[in-house]
Structure 1
């Protein structure tokens, strides 16, 4: 199942707010609609958000196409600014938009507008294709960590639905399963929006990978009873010291893993690293609306007027992370040095 499909004129997004009950694709013909889909979590997952934003940029550039180059560039800045405002935590969004803006900066004075629009589309297609390649490479590095069948716990959804294809954490699980080294996956439901229950359990079931759904507050008991051998999660932003932002509840899972001496792995592409942030304390944490907590599938489940705190993400300190799985290999402590070396490799490959 594809999270997005580009036909050259529009981007069709799998509406993840309706899964697993309804499989519906939203046909987006303008950048504002894709931005709305990002805000509403109709498309979600850091790599998928980045790719969707790249295609939104293409549509925005086409909508802004004018004979006057200065007016075009002014409109492009508005498109870029709007898309950057949609979600604050997932750094892949900003990484992808930086890639698109670099095309504008490098080429806008050199070539005619039709050719520039074509280059933007090619860049978006490259970002999408690269996400697929990176996920498969990452999966191979991650699967190599498991030499015998294990039971894995995962939180939220870091699968094909959160990427262009295959997945980060679930990509590792898929690869390890194909090699005969996955006995069972425990999927946290991931409140309040149940991405684990609605999406991860759905994906794994579709792939015939043994999966057991548990509520978030069961994870500790499952670990205590030695039902879990390792934890793998995705990430939305990783600081230069290895502190990692992921869906709310990940920090709790990391602490439980540490207490029970269970390896805790993060799987994320290099584009998820934010080298400008020294520690996780600098990562902006998105807070979402009260309705997500006070209602369950549209039905009120809390008193009128109750105060609500609804952070969408939390930050796991690096000391609780056993390894960070990337397309460049598995990073291990000391993360400060390992991430510095990763940055150097990325710059060499540019």
Structure 2
């Protein structure tokens, strides 16, 4: 079950509503999300009281972004445990809610393993639920810390590749605090450049068909006081040809063992443009996004979304002429088939560097990524965790 309520905040200030939080009102624990389908018009919180509500929030993109999906998945397992639902069923439903984002299943299985370990150790259901919640909170904290380190490593790489500052960065989709326990991935690097006085311009792809760049990245950039300009996705080529882009920074939903990067559809064309125009193409993502079990780009399952996202203009925030809130205005003839992959895959040879909390990998090779993952192995709950 889920319900929504709005909160008002002063304009032109960073949002005080976290993208995700655990709450324990008298009626029982809940997971509270900032509903990203309502931004930028409204800051509305969505309250989930069970795993099915969270699964729906994930599928409708009320909560999105690879690192945040991992955190949400872990909290979802904790929610099921705390509310007395079947934990394994909830975990399976959550893990499969969006197939491309590997962080989601990583977070789910981590909390599920903590819950199971507590039971095996002789704990009761309450203790097992507390163990799952502790695992979710630990993941949340680790992601915030990883975000800060990615920003540091990413800015250092930018300054190395582009001495002198005044960076003009092009980004795609949304990779800020709305996708993270901290300040984000690729956006966090741009924000670090802004704070250091070395960001000249953030070019923001609108990111069709759901406009995560226009609605969310522009929202975060404005809140942070960054110099930014919004462009249609198909205008990026003209920016490159005019010499107006110094670097491309994107996030990732899954990175295969060979360095192939799945990210929001439209990323691969930017990589091709960047290579032709000799512009660095940099992927910023936590190590948990690297999936050693996915051998190459062809092995990445790409989510296919509903055609109406392409054939209609959606109105998620407020009613407009001809449509109700959450509905859409047709822009194609009735019955038009639509091709609507959520992601595309960029091969490693087009990626200048992958920046993680453990540092940057460049050139991007299977061996370099394997070494990075080996360095990042850590002990979690008494077991070795392999991101």
> After TM superposition, is the score higher than 0.5?
yes
CA, structure 1 residues 213+84, in 2 after alignment: closer, same or farther (shift >3 Å)?
Answer: same
Name which of structure 1's ranges 260-269 and 26-35 shifts more when overlaid on structure 2.
26-35
The verdict on how the C-alpha distance between 1:333 and 1:18 changes in structure 2, with shifts beyond 3 A counting, is same
Of 147, 150, 153 in structure 2, the residue corresponding to residue 135 of structure 1 is 147
1:311 and 2:341 are equivalent in the alignment: yes
Checking the alignment, whether the CA contact within 8 Å between 2:112 and 2:132 is kept in structure 1 is no
User: What is the 5 A alignment of 1:107-256?
Assistant: 107-110=118-121, 111-147=123-159, 148-256=165-273
SS in 1 for 2:38: coil
SS at match of 1:50: helix
Secondary structure in structure 2 of the residue aligned to 1:341: helix
From the two aligned structures, give the one with the greater helix fraction. Answer: 1
**Contact 2:116–2:128 (CA<8 Å) still a contact in 1?**
no
Determine if contact 2:352/2:364 at 8 Å carries over to the other structure.
Answer: no
Instruction: Give the TM-score normalised by the residue count of structure 1.
Output: 0.95
* Partner of residue 70 from structure 2, selected from 50, 68, 82: 50
Alignment of 1:3-82 (within 5 A): 3-8=19-24, 9-64=29-84, 75-82=86-93
Aligned to 1:146, the other structure's residue is in SS state: helix
Q: CA, structure 1 residues 348+47, in 2 after alignment: closer, same or farther (shift >3 Å)?
A: closer
CA distance in 2, matches of 1:77, 1:119: 15
- Structure 1's unaligned 5+ residue stretches are 66-74
Do the aligned partners of 2:203 and 2:229 also contact (CA within 8 Å) in 1?
yes
CA RMSD of aligned residues (A): 1.2
Q: Which residue of 1 aligns with 2:322?
A: none
SS at structure 1 position matched to 2:97: coil
Which stretch of the first structure deviates more once superposed, 118-127 or 263-272? 118-127
1:334 shift after superposition = 4.5
Distance in 2 between residues matched to 1:300 and 1:104, nearest whole Å: 46
Question: Does structure 1 conserve the Cα–Cα contact (< 8 Å) formed by 2:185 and 2:285?
Answer: yes
CA contact (8 A) 1:290 1:308 kept: yes
Q: 1:279 aligns with which of 269, 290, 296?
A: 296
Structure 2: gaps spanning 5 or more residues:
1-14, 160-164, 315-327
Q: Aligned partners of 1:334, 1:3: CA distance in 2, in Å?
A: 31
Counterpart CA distance in 1 for 2:158 and 2:335 is: 49
Taking the aligned partners of 1:121 and 1:105, their CA distance within structure 2 comes to 12
- Asked if 2 retains the 8 angstrom alpha-carbon contact of 1:185 and 1:211, the reply is yes
The range that moved more, 231-240 or 47-56, is 47-56
Runs of 4+ with >3 A deviation: none
Aligned residues: 341
8 Å contact 1:58–1:121 — kept in the other structure? yes
Deviation at 1:146, TM superposition (A): 2.8
1 CA distance for matches of 2:285 and 2:364?
A: 18
1:94 and 2:105 equivalent?
Answer: yes
